[in-house]
Amino acid sequence: MKLFRFSVILLFLSFLPVQIIAQEEYDVKEHYNKTEVDIPMRDGTKLHTTIYSPKDTSKEYPILMQRTPYSSRPYGEDQFRSLIGPNEYLMKEGNIVVYQDVRGRWMSEGKYDNMRAIIPNKKGDEFDESSDTYDTIEWLINNVENNNGRVGTWGISYPGHYAVASLVDAHPALKAASPQAGIGDFFFDDFHHNGAYLLSYWRATALFGYDKTGPTTESWYDLPDLGTQDQYQFFLDVGPLSNLDEYYGEDNIFWQQLKEHPNYDEFWQSRGIIQHLEDIKPAVMVVGGLFDAEDLYGPFNTYKKIEETSDNHNIMVFGPWSHGDWARQTERQAVGNVYFGDNISEDYQRNVETTFFNHFLKEDGDGDVDLAEAYVYDTGARKWNSYEAWPPKEAESKVFYLGDNQELTNEATNNEESFVSDPAKPVSYNNEIKAVFTPREYMTGDQRFAARRPDVLVFETEVLEEDMKLTGEILARLNVATTGTAADWAVKVIDVYPADSEDYEETMDHLDMDNYHMMVRSEVMRGRFRNSFENPEPFEPNKKTPVNITLQDINHTFKKGHKLQIQVQSTWFPLIDRNPQSFVPNIFEAEEEDFQKQTHTIYGDSAVEFSILKE
């Protein structure tokens, strides 16, 4: 078994949205006192909690709290973070800032449960993440001096999920929450997309799968060492998923859960949190990145579900960010090769995030805050849009069919396009030889390499004679057939740049932006789940079959002189694992002989539905 011991710091830098702020000689230790306490929950378990309180005690302050599985470090009351709170501005103006190790992680007691299920109508000492948050808030407002009785929660990624959990049966003192890139359901975020296993997250399984024996300040898990930068070749050489047992044994609980629950059964369903978001009382500001490779499903569906079920103040912010970019402060905002603008994160932190929390925590908090219902960046026009509703109500439906001669047409055709899909030579998700802990840059990556493969079908418009703004959710309605009994289907929406496009500072040396194929949105559907995520079923060979794929929302103007392109493929490696293309009950148990080359067909009445916004 090959294992590589990562330091905690390196692990966080590679996986978490680390906050990097250019501070002007601000010393947290000079302005804040720090205490560490172990707060008892209703069942007696104590959760380790770090409290930063302003030294200026002449006034009362709200409490801003983040609960995390990734450590409330540094430990020791004489050890201080260089940045506390959601951003520099909220830190400098004074707030009581609290970090807590969730149950079973780091210095907290108890047993960790990955995406612990919410328990409705809890009795006695029953607990979940909602009740742990409630009990923590109750203790804080009664024991921390100079608090004003108002609490806000925030967090990015998994801490964002805990911010969502704080909203369920919320404590009356919780007045505002900002779940940012919060996980909504592990069958649709991070480790799965529509039932397809994200092999690219395999190494992250180490973070969530191992139990610790007691409170600790040191990491207790190891990450597998691939031994190469060529992760495509590594996973291809490994073969079937079952061979990865060499790296994770039975002591990795999460790996066992992934293998034992390949379908959307009660195990996964109970761990989703979206279904519990009803009658939410605190104000909510959902934040996400339009190019977040890890968590798009969670943020969009958190906002939409609260909007449907609750009468609270509920707004959303989506910028041109990858995972957690909004918590950084860099002058030039780029994702991969593509530059979007200057000081975008700082503007958000100063004018949106700080305004939101101050209104509900420091001011009277009555009425609506002076912020738009939805701030969404136009990633093609390079500017913010403010909307009164999301998706915009004035948007009009537009359907493109996958027609003849690689064209996107306005009418369905009798066209049939076929290609051979070979699991031994899967289509890569990027064109780089680079081992990454979790993928990010591919979300805006150049797709020319894929467009030129025979097992990727390409359909595109003529060069646009005027701007075309696409906004909201995308639905791909494919009609397909396969010579096998199983297949995956991936759809990519691509902005093809003109030949005279200039390079950005961020463009890789071996690339040019002329004719750049920028991926704007993409999604995969494991074909066995086309009718039900709970009950998979095989394809009938050579039978025309509908497969619908919902792609997460976009807000993108395809500029005059550009082209809209759709790519359709069946492998996407090693972003997702290889489909054997012969139906097996559990792909985690597939054997080498199950992997078969098959021919797939796309019919000309397949369509992609967009919403067009005319400005």
Q: What is the pLDDT of residues 196-250, one digit of tens each?
A: 999 999 999 999 999 999 999 999 998 899 999 999 999 999 999 999 999 999 9
Give percent of the chain above pLDDT 70: 95
Confidence of residue 24 (pLDDT cuts 50, 70, 90): low
CA geometry: angle at 500 spanning 496 and 502, to 5°?
A: 90
Segment 166-210, tens digit of pLDDT: 999 999 999 999 999 999 999 999 999 999 999 999 999 999 999
Segment 60-81, tens digit of pLDDT: 999 999 999 999 999 999 999 9
Using CA atoms, how far apart are residues 182 and 17, in angstroms rounded to an integer? Answer: 12
Segment 539-574, tens digit of pLDDT: 999 999 999 999 999 999 999 999 999 999 999 999
Segment 479-523, tens digit of pLDDT: 999 999 999 999 999 999 999 999 999 999 999 999 999 999 999
In whole numbers, what is the pLDDT of the chain averaged over residues? Answer: 94
Rounded to 5, what percent of the chain is helix, strand, coil? 20, 30, 50
CA 426 to chain centre: 24
Specify the pTM: 0.95
Return the pLDDT at 16.
46
Per DSSP, which regions of 43-95 are E strands? Answer: 46-54, 61-68
Confidence of residue 364 (pLDDT cuts 50, 70, 90): low
Pairing relation of β-strands 332-335 and 61-68?
A: unpaired
Q: Which of 23-27, 287-291, 329-333, 603-607 has the lowest mean pLDDT?
A: 23-27
Segment 424-474, tens digit of pLDDT: 999 999 988 888 888 899 999 999 999 999 999 999 999 999 999 999 999
Q: Residue 106's closest CA among 69, 156, 132?
A: 69
The mean pLDDT of 156-166, rounded to a whole number, is: 98
Pairing relation of β-strands 607-612 and 468-482?
A: antiparallel
| 282 Cβ neighbours under 8 A, 6+ residues apart | 166, 167, 170, 174, 175, 176, 177, 312, 360
Res. 365: pLDDT tops 80: no
Is residue 533 within 8 A of residue 556, CB to CB? The reply is no
Res. 109: pLDDT tops 60: yes
Higher pLDDT residue, 105 or 370? Answer: 105
Return the pLDDT at 438.
85
What's the chain's length in residues? 615
Return the pLDDT at 12.
40
Return the pLDDT at 20.
41
| Residue keyed to tokens 């418009």 | 461
Query: Which two three-digit tokens encode residue 269?
Result: 């369903």
Using CA atoms, how far apart are residues 158 and 164, in angstroms rounded to an integer? Answer: 10
Using CA atoms, how far apart are residues 330 and 20, in angstroms rounded to an integer? Answer: 8
Query: Which two three-digit tokens encode residue 471?
Result: 């906004």
Query: Which two three-digit tokens encode residue 416?
Result: 């049939």
Query: Which two three-digit tokens encode residue 391?
Result: 């998706």
Q: Residue 371's closest CA among 345, 343, 391, 351?
A: 351
Return the pLDDT at 14.
39
The mean pLDDT of 385-412, rounded to a whole number, is: 97
